[in-house]
Amino acid sequence: MKTFATVLLMVVTMGLTAQNNYSFSGSDIKFEDVTFKSSMKLGDEALVYNGGGVRTKIIFDLYEAGLYLTGKTGDANTVINGDKAMAVRLEITSGLVSEENFVEAIQEGFDKTAPAKAAEFTAWFKGALGGALTKGDEIILAYTPGEGTTLYKNGKNLGTQAGIEFKKALWAIWLGEQPAQESLKKEMLGK
């Protein structure tokens, strides 16, 4: 019976850990309508806020994004190609953002950054996101070397896509040669 209780405790603990492997701390950095924290802990890695900004489309603010890295940099290629812990925190700031148009925007990004894998990457993302988006939702995309990119929505772990190629393609959506929005790229890079 003691062995069963020990195994049950381990399963419950693993389940709780799988929910959320990150935390934020430090001073507040207010940008438009969203407050970012100056530091983030991802597993055992300490990350710092590198920069952030607003994603707009036409005249609407859609979400605010903050980039967290192991050390600050203004070099997009270092971030995209780096095999280090890092994360992007998005907060939906508009009721106009739906799961459908968010996934569509990700699809457009993957079409530019990883055309050969765009359908596969988008299918994983859509399947993992699995549900409506509403104003105030928080999405965390956290990359851990050797594990892959984990998608969290409002603190809940929605799954991990293994491999650095997915991470490179995803980060290039914001920071690549043809970013979703040039001004957001500069802001995320602290420029």
Task: Give the tokens for residue 104.
Answer: 């569509």
CA nearest neighbour of 46 among 66, 29, 23, 65: 23
User: Where does the pLDDT of residue 172 fall: very low under 50, low under 70, confident under 90, or very high at 90 and above?
Assistant: very high
What letter represents residue 10's amino acid? M
Mean pLDDT of 115-139: 86
∠ CA(63), CA(30), CA(188), 5° rounding?
A: 55
- Tell me: the pLDDT tens digits for 96-119? 788 888 888 888 889 999 999 888
pLDDT at 188 over 80: yes
∠ CA(28), CA(32), CA(36), 5° rounding?
A: 30
| Exposure b/e, 24-33, CB count within 10 A at least 16 = b | beeeeeebee
Three-class SS of 16-29: HHHHCCEEEEEEEE
User: Where does the pLDDT of residue 19 fall: very low under 50, low under 70, confident under 90, or very high at 90 and above?
Assistant: low
- Tell me: the pLDDT tens digits for 41-82? 999 999 999 999 998 877 778 889 999 999 999 999 999 999
What letter represents residue 17's amino acid? T
Beta pairing, strands 138-144 & 22-31: unpaired
What letter represents residue 11's amino acid? V
Q: What is the DSSP letter of 71?
A: S
Using an 8 Å Cβ cutoff, are 151 and 122 in contact? no
Greatest distance between any 2 Cα atoms in the chain: 62
Backbone angles phi, psi at 16, to 5 degrees: -70, -40
Task: Give the tokens for residue 42.
Answer: 């991802």
pTM of this prediction?
Answer: 0.86
Using CA atoms, how far apart are residues 4 and 7, in angstroms rounded to an integer?
Answer: 5
Mean pLDDT of 164-186: 94
Percent of the chain with pLDDT over 90: 59
Q: Which residue has the tokens 């009721």?
A: 95
Per-residue model confidence (pLDDT) at position 74:
97
Mean pLDDT of 149-174: 94
